Every structure is written in structure tokens, then in C-alpha cells.
Amino acid sequence: MARIVKTADPYKAIKYWRSIALREKNNNIKRAKKLSKPQMYIMVNITRPFFSRVDKNDSKYIRTYRMIIYGMLNYSKSLKTITLRASGYNLGKRLAERGLIRSIDDLPQVFINQRIGLLDIVDESFNNMKIHIYECMSCYGIPNIGMPMCDFEAGVIQGALESLIGKNITKEKYCWGLGYSFCGFEVYFE
């Protein structure tokens, strides 16, 4: 991977990560799958370039959060998926109901404030949206473990967009857990 740009400017950070994401998408570049235990990634400390500039304690919070995911994953993978999706969905709906998300334009700043990740809307049509998240709290820096990890993030997007636009299906197609350097979600409105 190219040199990581460290900046506290979200626009510069998003521009940098978007170029990496598009290169990986267009050329179908991804990291080889690790055969080791999927859960082991959680033991590795990570530093998110943008978020650690915003808050020097970022990696500590991320470690704590990921230990929760680790615990759930060890107990039951389906429990982890369902619980985190529902938790994110509740947060997304709540943020919209409380007026913190009033339009799609509010999403990037709210995702930064909540430390979820750098949100980037890359494509929008009347019944479909493509959204990237960079430096995602759930998966940034993990190896290719053969599964998408960002149920919580997918839930936040689904819940927020349900309140703003309407019922939708949000799926994570690209993820660090699948060998990419970004998360890519596809939203289909019913």
C-alpha cells in the first residue's frame, strides 16, 4: 500500500482514501486471505491516521470497542452480527430523530463526531446509493479474514437513511475483513 497520509483535514483524508478505494475497486486488488483465527486481529493495536490526529486516545477507545466485538464473535458469530446491526440501526434512527442528521449532507460530520469513520457518498441514484467508510472503527487495519465486519456501521447507515428517505437494504460489499483498504456499502431503497 502507498504511503499513508496523516492529516487532521477530513477533506484531504477522504480524498486520499477515495483514490485508494477506487484503485482497489477498479483493478480488483485485495490482500490475500489469512488462514489464522479470524478473531486474532483484535489483539493488534491500530492507529487510525485521521482520527488519531483528532484525538490522541483514539487507538485506546478502538481497542476497547473491538474487545467487545471480539467477545461477541467468540461467543457466537450470528449473535454478533444481529446485535451490532440492531445497535447501529438504533443509533442511526436516534441521530435522525434528534435532529443531528437532517439531511444526507450531515452524515459525514456526524460519522466523524461519533468516531465511526470517514463517510464518503460515492454514488447516488433515485433508488440506490454507494457509500464508503474510511478508517472504520470496526475494521480499519485488520487482515483479510474472509468476512465483512461492519454490521454496526451498516446499521447506522440503514437507520439514518430510513428516517431520511425510507426503508432500505444496506449491504457491506467491501471491507478490510475482505482484503480491501476501505468499507463499501450498497443501499437499495424499497
Q: Closest distance between Zn ion and the C-beta of residue 6, in Å?
A: 21
Distance CA 41, CA 144 (A): 10
Taking the complex as a whole, how short is the minimal distance between the CB of residue 133 and Zn ion, in angstroms?
A: 7
- Lay out the site mask for Zn ion across 119-138 (x = CB under 5 A, - = otherwise): -----------------x--
Q: How far is the CB of 99 from Zn ion (least distance, A)?
A: 28
Please identify which residue in the block is written with the cell numbers 492529516: 7
Q: In what order do the strands lie in the sheet with 183-189?
A: 118-124, 128-134, 183-189, 168-174
| Interacting span for Zn ion (CB under 5 A) from 69-77, 94-102, 143-151, 156-164 | 143-151
User: Using the rule CB under 5 A, which residue among 139, 145, 154, 157 binds Zn ion?
Assistant: 139
Contact region for Zn ion (CB under 5 A) — 20-28, 38-46, 57-65, 176-184? Answer: 176-184
Asked if residue 150 binds Zn ion (CB under 5 A), the reply is yes
**Inter-residue contact 188 to 128 (CB < 8 Å):** yes
CB of 69 closer than 8 Å to CB of 138: yes
Identify the bridge partners of residue 128 per DSSP, sorted by sequence position: 188
Strand pairing class (168-174; 128-134): unpaired
Give the shortest CB-102-to-Zn ion separation in angstroms. Answer: 26
CB 180 within 8 A of CB 174: yes
Q: According to the binding rule CB under 5 A, does residue 183 interact with Zn ion?
A: yes
Considering beta carbons, is residue 96 or 157 the nearer one to Zn ion? 157
Q: CB-wise, 97 or 169, nearer to Zn ion?
A: 169
The C-alpha cell 474472509 sits at 146
Q: Which residues contact 20 (CB under 8 A, 6 or more apart)?
A: 1, 2, 181, 182
Closer of 23 and 98 to Zn ion (Cβ): 23
**Nearer CB in complex with Zn ion: 150/157:** 150
**Residue 18 or 56 having the CB closest to Zn ion:** 18
**176: which DSSP letter?**
G
Interface ranges with Zn ion (CB under 5 A): 136, 139, 150, 175, 183
